[in-house]
Structure 1
Amino acid sequence: MRRFYLCLGYASLALGVIGIVLPVLPTMPFVLLAAWCFARSNPALADRLYSHPRFGAVLRAWRDERAIPLRAKLTALTMLALSYGLILWLADSRLVPVLLAAIMGSVAVYIATRPRPRGRDAAAA
């Protein structure tokens, strides 16, 4: 099982890195999954992610408090709105925007209702 989590962690991290440059692929969900997998397979790799200068504060806030920093919330909600606008513009079907509105709306509500982190990591993220 350890090897499975290690492989899944590397695959998730690769998708997260691709998501940095590819606008349609989210970064943080894959980095969160990678940290979770590495915590079960190779704690040293998980520690490297948690101490990363860019992602560490957000990962620690999620791990410790299940919280999302305000900047990350605003970025995620803005990208959801822009993506949905693009869907409305490009979709030929009437069903696709309705289905995606339900899915993306649910994700937006979930993100918006998560608390903001307390402490030092809140300002860093």
Structure 2
Amino acid sequence: MARRAPGRWRWAWWLLAYGALGLGLVGIVVPGLPTVPFVLLSAYAAARGSRRLHAWLRRHGQFGPMIRDWQAQGAVSRRAKRLATAMMALCAVVMFLTAPRAWMAATGTTIMAIVAIWLWRRPEPQARAGGRATLPP
């Protein structure tokens, strides 16, 4: 687990943790706003500013496995990679259909393509007996 920040900065980490979690939750229902990066940022900041939030995130049914995989191995599940790539592709189509200028949609699409390449280069969680990923407590 990460070292907690000194008392004078703990409030800033706490604020970042809850703010990022809020944006991640909004991203569940708003197309184009990513959920996973905000939840990972929230876990990172919570480890420094709120042990209670960090523990809750690690135990969470949806977010916990993703956070534990990232913290232990820098890994992203294949399902998450596929979903992220599909959502980026959908957003690219929407941008090309609605952007006032093609270069605007092309810029956003290029950025998403770079993110997708980076994402697919991340390792996938190592499986253990029983088919579940190896996760620290």
TM-score by length of 2: 0.84
**1:82 — aligned with what?**
90
How far residue 115 of structure 1 moved from its aligned partner, in angstroms, is: 1.1
Matched, 1:42 2:54: no
Counterpart pick for 2:68 among 60, 65, 69: 60
**1:29 — aligned with what?**
37
Q: In 1, Cα distance between the equivalents of 2:69 and 2:45?
A: 17
Q: Residue 133 of structure 2: SS of its match in structure 1?
A: helix
Matched, 1:117 2:117: no
Higher helix share: 1
TM-score by length of 1: 0.91
Moved more, 19-28 or 74-83: 19-28
Q: In 2, Cα distance between the equivalents of 1:121 and 1:57?
A: 8
**2:13 — aligned with what?**
5
Q: In 1, Cα distance between the equivalents of 2:19 and 2:57?
A: 14
Which deviations, in whole Å up to 9, do the C-alpha atoms of 1:66-120 show, x marking residues without a partner? 1100110000000000100111111221221221232111001011111110132
How far residue 21 of structure 1 moved from its aligned partner, in angstroms, is: 1.8
Counterpart residue type for residue 9 of structure 1? A
CA RMSD of aligned residues (A): 1.3
Which deviations, in whole Å up to 9, do the C-alpha atoms of 1:2-42 show, x marking residues without a partner? 00000111111111111112223211111111100100012
Counterpart residue type for residue 58 of structure 2? Y
Which deviations, in whole Å up to 9, do the C-alpha atoms of 1:24-68 show, x marking residues without a partner? 321111111110010001222111101111110011111111110
Residues paired across the two proteins, number: 122
Q: Contact (CA 8 Å) 1:58, 1:121: kept in 2 or not?
A: no
Q: Contact (CA 8 Å) 2:23, 2:38: kept in 1 or not?
A: yes
Q: Residue 101 of structure 2: SS of its match in structure 1?
A: coil
Q: In 2, Cα distance between the equivalents of 1:76 and 1:15?
A: 16
Ranges in structure 2 where 5+ consecutive residues have no aligned partner: 1-8
Q: Contact (CA 8 Å) 1:12, 1:30: kept in 2 or not?
A: yes
User: Structure 1: which 4+ aligned runs deviate by more than 4 Å?
Assistant: none
Ranges in structure 1 where 5+ consecutive residues have no aligned partner: none
Q: In 1, Cα distance between the equivalents of 2:88 and 2:56?
A: 29
